[in-house]
Structure 1
Amino acid sequence: MDSDEDFDYYDAGDDEEDDLSLRDDADDDDEDEGYLDDNIIVSEAPHGSETKDEEVYPHECLSADRIVDLMVEILKEVNDIVNIPPTTLRILLAHFNWDKELLLEKYYEYDGNQERIFKEAHVVSPFKMKRSNKSRDVSCEICCSSCSSSFMTGLDCGHMFCKGCWSQYLRTKIMDEGMSQTIPCPAFDCEIIVDDAIVMSLISDKKVRLKYQHLMTNSFVECNSLLKWCPSPDCHHVIKVEYRDRRAVKCDCGREFCFECSESWHDPVLCVHLKKWLKKCDDDSETSNWISANTKECPKCQVTIEKDGGCNHVICRSQTCKHEFCWVCLGPWDPHGASWYNCNRYNADDAKKARDTQQRSREMLQRYLFYCNRYMNHLQSLKFEHKLYARVKRKMEEMQQLNMSWIEVQFLKKAVDVLCQCRQTLMYTYVFAFFLKRNNQLLLFEDNQADLEKATETLSEYLERDITTASIRDIKQKVQDKYRYCDSRRSVLLRHVHEGYDKEWWDYLD
């Protein structure tokens, strides 16, 4: 074992209707994909010394069917307290973003005037006398055709439409406008919401029914602060937590992400800083920085100019300007005369300001490039390291043919897991450091960062160069010692950062 492993830079001390008509045509192909070795983000349960963010964060992965069950559970809980029909209750819950406590609070706050809560949710009170149409033939308010009452239907608001018009109306709202829980009555200026029982009874097209179900479940998940869709493409699972926090959660598909912002798990950087960083990397802000650092503006017309020759006598090429100035001090060229190179004679305030602005732009660009290059380097290395899983799998099979048990060869996969964890942590440490002002705690952080980076590179080298069957016993010891050390150093670094968050050690740049 390396001698540098002996010390730390930092040592931190009801009826059938209740079962939701949405359950019909539920997603049948929602299957767990299991663990995939070639996922970009691979992270097993934390081992070694645990940091604050690596403590157990209780969460579970829900399928589409389980989401519907959860909706039914909430409906039954509320219905046990207030005797409201399930279809009406669903609309009320949707109005209050499925916050049952808020719904009950408002319901009893309006005690004696419950009509108000139903009006606000755009639903007819179930305690109100329903309008009835006793005539045999009724005229559709859309197509104006006279139909038998058996071919007509409507909401409690009393507006009646033929089933054909209803079907076309609902199809348009669902497929073209993406509406589900807030589809209004087709009548002009009527805001009464169409309940899901009406929708499911009038829509026969399986594609439309499935889209409606997905929109309803998606709306339920988006409204609930304790639920979050897995961000992986084509994954239809939802993560449910007991309380909201910036913690890592892992979907059954293998994707690990931050529950707060849905980005790949980014410890130790905060969500707000990661968002700024990704925006900075994606937009054209750094193109503007490059322009600011490598070009200057004409002092007269502010046209951007790039110097392409050695002479500092610059003539603006704008047809309406033609201003002559010195590239060094940005002052007019005339005072320079024969001593054009002696710019210290020109000390006007505007020239000094221009030079200072230019220097700041260069420094900002260099600082950004420093951290961005190291961030991108670890990101690229992380992608390359995941190719090691295929090589390691083959090597583990070879070792088992040399009379080594399956358990004995697991150290190789464990080493790659730790290597990927360290790469991912190091990648985000540069984002973290980019937003910090320099102080003693940052210097300590950089020492921990450097030690982890050095150990990670050594482990990567072992796995890429030394996986041979010739001296497997020696290699096994070296790899085990190094990945344990890497894991320890990673925990030390993260503990320091989290303690800094708790004790407000970190000063951020404006």
Structure 2
Amino acid sequence: MSGGSETMDEEGTFSVSDADESSTFSDDDGIVVDPPVINVDRRYDNGADCQVLEPEQVVVEMNIIMEDVAAIVRLPPTVCRLLLYHYKWNKESLLEKFYESPDPDAFFADANIVSPFKLPHLSGNGRDVLDTCSICCNRAILTGLLCGHHFCYPCWDAYLSTKIMEEGRAYVACPELNCPIVVNDEKTLALIKSDTVKKRYRHLIINSFVECNQLLRWCPGADCGRVVKVAHSEARPVKCKCGTEFCFACVREWHEPVNCRLLQLWLKKCRDDSETSNWISANTKECPRCRATIEKDGGCNHVTCKNAACKMEFCWVCLGPWEPHGNSWYSCNRFDDSLAKKARDVQEKSRAALQRYLHYYNRFMNHQHSLKLENKLYATVKKKMEVMQQTNMSWVEVQFLQKAVDILSQCRRTLMYTYAFAFYLQKDNQSMIFEDNQRDLEHATEQLSEFLERDLENENLVSLKQKVQDKSRYVEQRRDALLKHCAEGVEHDFWKFSE
């Protein structure tokens, strides 16, 4: 393809000239967790079963599948691409339906394509004609599809550009009302004038292929545009050439030890208004009669429901009727009756649930905040490494500082996700072991953080290196112990979660 404007070579294969300006896809659940950063755990090796592909290499894989289908069904490449898109790029499913369908016309109609077997009988369709455009009502040269609907070139350009740029459509239907026939990529690119729209269109076609393929994922790194390919689709850490490490299953940053499903629940809980109801339950009470929500705004325990249809007077402490209280205006010393006790039990459970959530949420956010602050250590460490090299230490010898900050970052990230893991974890002997490992790792991580933040300026170089290396090794050991225990729990199925 030449000049960045063609997408078809002589054999009809699809090609791409430019990567899109951004191949990063939004994550609706990503409000709490920041996008993956480059300075993360560097120990992971993708292995032989994982490849990082450029957009051009993805196009090659698309064309291989398209050519295989075209060779079998003996149909034009443009038709094969539309069929593959309809069947979500599943070659086996497409071929199965193709050969099992008793009615070929119905098979193509289901994919919103004019049957190629009808083409000899569709004289004139798709050719340019001089007529009045039904969109702008101007008399001009009209061009159309095999469905027989014609429109002027400016209207085609405006229509396709809107669908591509504003709606993100890779495959666009005919502008005619109730006509489902899809415009193929050759026709689309011939009708679009803007190079920006063409670039976006190419990216959308590639994206449709990537999103339908369980073995492919876009790298979520900012302005990366590469695709990671694996041999088996599973939750695992993968690393792009840009340095971004992420979970292949959910495309968030690698979140060991919590699994993707629980992490999604946790992020939703942190993001939406679900905890607002907990706050209401913890800080308000319901009228015992009409169940209206009441917030106490004074010190008196004698409360009157504001509901005009109720107006019940009751005790804020025990939720019982106020009349039997006699003159005990400000202290409730009545024995609990069953109804009042039940109401208080519900209230206490709501308060306990809120306190439990805040315990894990605050620690989750604290480690996330510390992680952001410690990312600034890279600049400080770089300066310290330069100073150390001026005191007869080689570049290799001072790398322990860079490695220590890497270890610190990965431990902060692991600790952050242990609190999401622990929030849903049911209490038992194994959970106690997990909490012990969590506590040990947290304590060691804080010590390493103190060494790197405080001792960079105060310690002599020999002492500093020894302290940092010893603590870094210990922190790694504690992290490995925690993650090993979590992995054993998954393998032997002894973790029990409450969702």
- What TM bracket, shorter-length normalisation? 0.7 to 0.9
Correspondences of 1:353-432 after superposition (within 5 Å): 353-432=342-421
Compute the TM-score of the two structures, normalised by the length of structure 2.
Answer: 0.87
1:69 aligned onto 2:46? no
Distance (Å, rounded) in 1 between the aligned partners of 2:138 and 2:351:
74
| Contact 2:36/2:245, CA 8 A, preserved across alignment | no
Residue type of the partner of 2:451? Y
Q: Which residue number corresponds to residue 18 of structure 2?
A: 26
Correspondences of 1:26-425 after superposition (within 5 Å): 26-27=18-19, 40=37, 42-46=39-43, 56=47, 58-110=49-101, 113-130=103-120, 131-133=122-124, 139=131, 142=134, 151-181=141-171, 183-339=172-328, 341=331, 343-347=333-337, 349-425=338-414
Instruction: Identify if the C-alpha distance between structure 1 residues 493 and 94 changes in structure 2 by more than 3 Å, giving closer, same or farther.
Output: same
Partner of 1:127: helix, strand, or coil? helix
Instruction: Identify if the C-alpha distance between structure 1 residues 29 and 372 changes in structure 2 by more than 3 Å, giving closer, same or farther.
Output: closer
Partner of 1:459: helix, strand, or coil? helix
| Contact 1:400/1:409, CA 8 A, preserved across alignment | yes
Where relative contact order (Cα < 8 A, 6+ residues apart) is larger, the structure is 1
| Contact 1:381/1:423, CA 8 A, preserved across alignment | yes
| Contact 2:20/2:200, CA 8 A, preserved across alignment | no
Partner of 1:345: helix, strand, or coil? coil
Instruction: Identify if the C-alpha distance between structure 1 residues 458 and 119 changes in structure 2 by more than 3 Å, giving closer, same or farther.
Output: same
| Contact 2:215/2:231, CA 8 A, preserved across alignment | yes
Partner of 2:207: helix, strand, or coil? helix
Deviations 1:210-252 (A, max 9, x none): 2322322222222222222233444433322222111122233
Distance (Å, rounded) in 1 between the aligned partners of 2:93 and 2:36:
41
Distance (Å, rounded) in 2 between the aligned partners of 1:69 and 1:247:
26
Q: Which residue number corresponds to residue 429 of structure 2?
A: 440
Instruction: Identify if the C-alpha distance between structure 1 residues 109 and 337 changes in structure 2 by more than 3 Å, giving closer, same or farther.
Output: same
Partner of 1:61: helix, strand, or coil? strand
Q: Which residue number corresponds to residue 490 of structure 1?
A: 479
| Contact 2:441/2:479, CA 8 A, preserved across alignment | yes
Distance (Å, rounded) in 1 between the aligned partners of 2:397 and 2:222:
36
Instruction: Identify if the C-alpha distance between structure 1 residues 397 and 85 changes in structure 2 by more than 3 Å, giving closer, same or farther.
Output: same
Q: Which residue number corresponds to residue 11 of structure 1?
A: none
Instruction: Identify if the C-alpha distance between structure 1 residues 125 and 336 changes in structure 2 by more than 3 Å, giving closer, same or farther.
Output: same
Distance (Å, rounded) in 1 between the aligned partners of 2:145 and 2:260:
45
Distance (Å, rounded) in 2 between the aligned partners of 1:137 and 1:18:
26
| Contact 2:434/2:486, CA 8 A, preserved across alignment | yes
Q: Larger deviation: 217-226 or 493-502?
A: 217-226
| Contact 1:229/1:236, CA 8 A, preserved across alignment | yes
Residue type of the partner of 1:106? K
| Contact 1:459/1:479, CA 8 A, preserved across alignment | yes
Structure 2's unaligned 5+ residue stretches are 1-7, 24-34
Q: Which residue number corresponds to residue 4 of structure 1?
A: none
Aligned length: 477
- The CA deviation at 1:448 is 1.1
Q: Which residue number corresponds to residue 502 of structure 1?
A: 491
Distance (Å, rounded) in 2 between the aligned partners of 1:40 and 1:313:
56
Compute the TM-score of the two structures, normalised by the length of structure 1.
Answer: 0.85
Q: Larger deviation: 418-427 or 220-229?
A: 220-229
| Contact 1:371/1:430, CA 8 A, preserved across alignment | yes
Distance (Å, rounded) in 1 between the aligned partners of 2:250 and 2:236:
10
Distance (Å, rounded) in 1 between the aligned partners of 2:301 and 2:411:
49
Deviations 1:441-499 (A, max 9, x none): 10111111111111111111111122248621222122112111211211111111111
Partner of 1:81: helix, strand, or coil? helix
Partner of 2:314: helix, strand, or coil? strand
Distance (Å, rounded) in 1 between the aligned partners of 2:303 and 2:21:
68
Distance (Å, rounded) in 2 between the aligned partners of 1:306 and 1:136:
72
Q: Larger deviation: 68-77 or 406-415?
A: 68-77
| Contact 2:404/2:469, CA 8 A, preserved across alignment | yes
Distance (Å, rounded) in 2 between the aligned partners of 1:375 and 1:170:
46
Structure 1's unaligned 5+ residue stretches are 1-13, 32-37, 48-53
* Identity across matched positions, percent: 53
| Contact 2:258/2:418, CA 8 A, preserved across alignment | yes
Q: Larger deviation: 251-260 or 94-103?
A: 251-260
Instruction: Identify if the C-alpha distance between structure 1 residues 400 and 376 changes in structure 2 by more than 3 Å, giving closer, same or farther.
Output: same
- The CA deviation at 1:264 is 1.8
Q: Larger deviation: 129-138 or 160-169?
A: 129-138
Partner of 1:18: helix, strand, or coil? coil
Distance (Å, rounded) in 2 between the aligned partners of 1:164 and 1:40:
44
- The CA deviation at 1:99 is 1.3
| Contact 2:404/2:472, CA 8 A, preserved across alignment | yes
